[in-house]
Amino acid sequence: MTQITFIEHDGTEYAVDATDQQSVMQAAVDNMVPGIVADCGGACSCGTCHGYVDAQWAGQLPAPAADEAALLEGLLDTKDNSRLTCQLKVSPALEGMIVRLPASQL
């Protein structure tokens, strides 16, 4: 198991244990983390799993694919570290990763 911490815009933290190879989004949904709605179920078509990955883990993640990058362009409150958590696979290298959630995703 790999622990990932989700932090809501108000500072509320949720530390969850994620299974390797599942998506970061699925780990959040399985643990009822508010702010990760996942309307499309991980198909990279809705943007309701948007999060800000702390810079410390940016080098551990592959660059966004074209479909993820295009969807991110249309979202509110994006930053350089914005990612769709449905496109991020859990691995031991992500142990302790922090994902902050935008206020626009209540």
Kindly report, residue by residue over 16-41, the tens digit of the pLDDT. 999 999 999 999 999 999 999 999 99
Q: What's the rounded Cα separation, in Å, for the pair 42 and 60?
A: 20
- Tell me if 53 sits within 8 A of 6, measured CB to CB: no
- Which domains occur in the chain, in start order? 2-100 (3.10.20.30)
Kindly report, residue by residue over 86-103, the tens digit of the pLDDT. 999 999 999 999 999 999
pTM (2 decimals)?
0.94
Q: What's the rounded Cα separation, in Å, for the pair 51 and 104?
A: 11
